[in-house]
Structure 1
């Protein structure tokens, strides 16, 4: 979260834990069925994705959860960017009908990129750029508000299938790849990322 705390979800048990500095875990909340992704809300709380219900929840540090957005088409991951926008990857229901949307409270979601094949992870860097992985097409994308979306990395065949993505405070983006089972670090340049 914005308070340098780490939280993890255990979707099968509906439990969210806070990971303490000594490595122990403390239960934040129980009974939240199917929380598959978490992100900081920027105010010390969390945003949680309930993929099977199509929901995004707000979750306070006291463990109180409320529905924020419902009716999404298979949400897979979530991030809040430097501009305060919430961005969600949507897996869709079939081949190449996934998308990435931006949610601004009180407004209709804005499409960032459509026609994606199994988008499964999303993150934002400190500059407000959005990075997302398209697992089904073996691609890593970058979205900049001024330039739109562009492919940063693409692989053929079964190699380098990106599964998850995260960024750090220093401006690096890390992608977990299945196939070679590795983590790849992308170093940002002025307008795009490079390996």
Structure 2
């Protein structure tokens, strides 16, 4: 098989059936302009041959690092099926229409939270955040909540995708797909 996206779809479907919570959770590793790494969990909200999409506040640390150094690594770890997938590649913001469409699909409370949060910045008290949330509720009462100008998504365009399958005695199976022009080159890695 030389199509990593078909294999991803198969593994992802199995993970959705077996993971108790958040089968779409993935670790996102970034580095700032000086190369200092940072990692956190985000949720996959779209995927296909053009890449893997997640959304965030563009005024937070992760977006700042991605805008400074537009390369990232993703890791899906599904303990229930004893598998993981590593993805590496360049990152770019999604287009406005894609961000608007996803934002419109979110719950109203999540939409309001995007307006209330100064993501990753120091918060003096939880009460202050809840006051800002209440202010956003009042501001948008009776009308659709628009996407904040500072909120959008990123797409990681994969150049490397590794599929790791746990095996007994640490004799794991590792399949590596690397971008090769318009296609993919497949190989194996030692465990």
TM-score (structure 1 length as normaliser): 0.25
Bigger Rg, which one: 2
TM-score (structure 2 length as normaliser): 0.25
Name the structure with the higher helix share: 2
Name the structure with the higher strand share: 1
